[in-house]
A = this chain, B = another copy of it.
């Protein structure tokens, strides 16, 4: 079951540094790309930063629409995350090519990617210098949602979910990931 996530807790979905899929849409075109270089930027309103290279088809769709979704894939679609990095949306609809289903978003036009366990719908905060000089895009999170099997009440619950394919992924290079591992709790002071 997919549940809405309180915007004040939305940063927690990205805080542990998972790889993301960036989905975008403009007019009758849509695309999805893999992005490991994404992070929270602020708590409230929640903001994110993500690197979107000038060479990508996604770049034009994000610039034209001013919107994107950061999708947080689960281990079960690791192969599609790699394939999303190896294909271009210029060569045909990448969702169809990869067998990735979509879900409509709550606020933005870009779709959410099925098989993910968290979704951050974002509006671009236009910063042309960052975009040109660094391929760096900033976004405000305008809606957030999660797969309730692994994220509820503002917390990831990977230790409760027994299916390892529901864990999030951390990308290194060359097709190698680390899955999100054991939880540990340190007393805060």
Contacts and interface: CB of A to CB of B under 8 A. Distances in A.
Identical copies in the complex: 2
Given A17-B17, A41-B136, A172-B155, A167 B181 contact: yes
Interface string A156-189: 1010000010010111111111111111111111
A162 to B, nearest CB: 15
Interface residues of A, number: 56
24 contacts: A15-B170, A16-B171, A16-B172, A17-B39, A17-B170, A37-B40, A39-B39, A39-B51, A41-B136, A75-B184, A79-B186, A81-B186, A82-B187, A82-B189, A129-B129, A155-B173, A156-B172, A158-B178, A167-B181, A175-B185, A176-B185, A179-B183, A180-B181, A181-B181
